Structure 1
Amino acid sequence: MTPERFNECLKLLRWSQLDLAAALECDVFLVNAWSNDIESVPGDIAAWLDKLAKAHAKAGLPQNYKGVHLKMKIGK
C-alpha cells in the first residue's frame, strides 16, 4: 500500500492517525511512519484498511441530515 492510498483510506474512514493508532492499540508514531513512507504498511493492515475504505465509499452518507439542527422543545 502506498502512503497516498493509506492516507486516502484514513480520509474515507474519517479517521486521524491517532484514531487508527487507538483502534490498533499501537504507537501513533508507527502510524505516522506508515503515512509518511518511513515504514511499509503491513499487508494485513493494508488489506483491512482498503476493505473498510471501499465499504465506506460504497455506503456513502445519508444526505437527509445535512444542515439539520436540533429543535429544542420548551416545556411539555
Structure 2
Amino acid sequence: MKPTAVDRLRGLRVEWIAVLDRLTDADLDAIAPFPWRGDPEMTVAHMVGWVNSELMKNAAEIGRLRLLRTASAR
C-alpha cells in the first residue's frame, strides 16, 4: 500500500525530531550557517526556530490544498 501524504509528513516529523535530539548546547550556540550567511548574532537555535516556522507554514499550506482538493471533488 502506498503511503499517504499524512504518513509521509508524520515520518518526516520523526526524522526532524531525531535531528533536533542530536543537537548539543554547543551546537545550538554555534553561528548559524543559513539563512543569515554566518551572522554572529544568529545561532543554530535561531535557525532551528526559523526552520520550524517554515515547516509549520508548509504543513498548513499542504493541509489547505488537501481541503480544496477534497471540496472540488464533490
Give the structure-1-normalised TM-score: 0.32
Task: Say which structure is richer in helix.
Answer: 2
